[in-house]
Amino acid sequence: MAQLKTPAEIDEMRPAGAFIAHVLTSLRSVAAVGVSLRDLDAHAHGLIREAGAHSVYLGYHPSFGAIPYPGVLCTSVNDAALHGLPSDYVLRDGDVLSIDFAAQVEGWVADSALTFQVGTPSPEAARLIETTERALAAGIAAAQPGGRMGDISAAIGEVGRSAGYGINADFGGHGVGRTMHEEPHVPNLGRKGSGQRLKPGLVIAIEPWFMAGGDGYVMDPDGWTIRSADGSLAAHAEHTVAITPDGPVVLTERSA
């Protein structure tokens, strides 16, 4: 069962949310043609140290990972959708970069991701990214107390499917709290009115990821990087959201 947070605990999660938002904004400004994924990881690691925060990625070893996670960020480029390792790859003009970042601050975790283009933008990538963000917004809007988990899943799936994008429900959102991955699972496909009730105090990461082509994915030999099976572009967007009596509150909102 999902652990419900008190209003005071949700307030205590705000510094973690603000830190994650700040780091993602900073990474977005640093990412450019000629910068390596490892450089981005090092930049984030510096900000973690400076803030006295704690990485929840480094050394993380869930059942789906072949090796303990070697970075503080996920950096997924082009056909890579999720869990891209921060390698020596150097960003090129036109790359579609997704950055996923979670960390613990004052004992609480927040988790968020964004996707953007590096260098010259393409309209196809812009539409995919914009649709993924719209799905995240629709999922957040559906995260209402008294609603059901399926309301969030259906809202996300509908946006992706009506744009004609591939969706794979093997990976989705999750509860967030003292640790990064908690109950419940937040699927990116589902039926409105189905699933568990959304109660005030539930804190979840909502994270649609879509592929420009089909629904299939493949895992790299590195045991982490998840790519579209057909090589099509992928995009991912994520926020940590608290469900309150007044509705959803986004803890990882970026001002820029």
Tell me which residues touch Co ion (CB under 5 A).
111, 205
Angle at 90 between CA 216 and CA 53, to 5 degrees: 85
Q: Cβ 164 to ligand MF3, closest distance in Å?
A: 24
Residue 19 near which of Co ion, ligand MF3, none (CB within 5-8 Å, type-dependent): none
User: Residue 207, interface with ligand MF3 (CB under 6 A)?
Assistant: yes
Q: Cβ 94 to ligand MF3, closest distance in Å?
A: 25
Q: Cβ 193 to ligand MF3, closest distance in Å?
A: 26
Q: Cβ 111 to Co ion, closest distance in Å?
A: 4
Q: Which of 41, 95, 100, 151 binds ligand MF3 (CB under 6 A)?
A: 100
* Concatenated DSSP letters of 106-174: TTEEEEEEEEEE-SS--HHHHHHHHHHHHHHHHHHHT--TTSBHHHHHHHHHHHHHHTT-B--TTS-EE
83 labelled binding-site residue:
yes
Residue 116 near which of Co ion, ligand MF3, none (CB within 5-8 Å, type-dependent): none
User: Residue 79, interface with ligand MF3 (CB under 6 A)?
Assistant: no
Q: Which of 19, 69, 210, 217 binds ligand MF3 (CB under 6 A)?
A: 69
How many residues belong to the site for ligand MF3 (CB under 6 A)?
Answer: 11
Which CA distances in Å does 143 have to 16, 114, 239? 20, 20, 12
- Type of residue found at 34: G
Which CA distances in Å does 112 have to 34, 39, 47? 25, 19, 16
Q: Which is nearer to ligand MF3, 74 or 234 (CB)?
A: 74
| CA-wise closest residue to 37 among 81, 73, 80, 78 | 73
61 labelled binding-site residue:
no
Encode 131-146: b = buried (16+ Cβ within 10 Å), e = exposed.
bbbbbbbbbbebbbbe
Return binding residues: 83, 100, 111, 174, 181, 207, 238
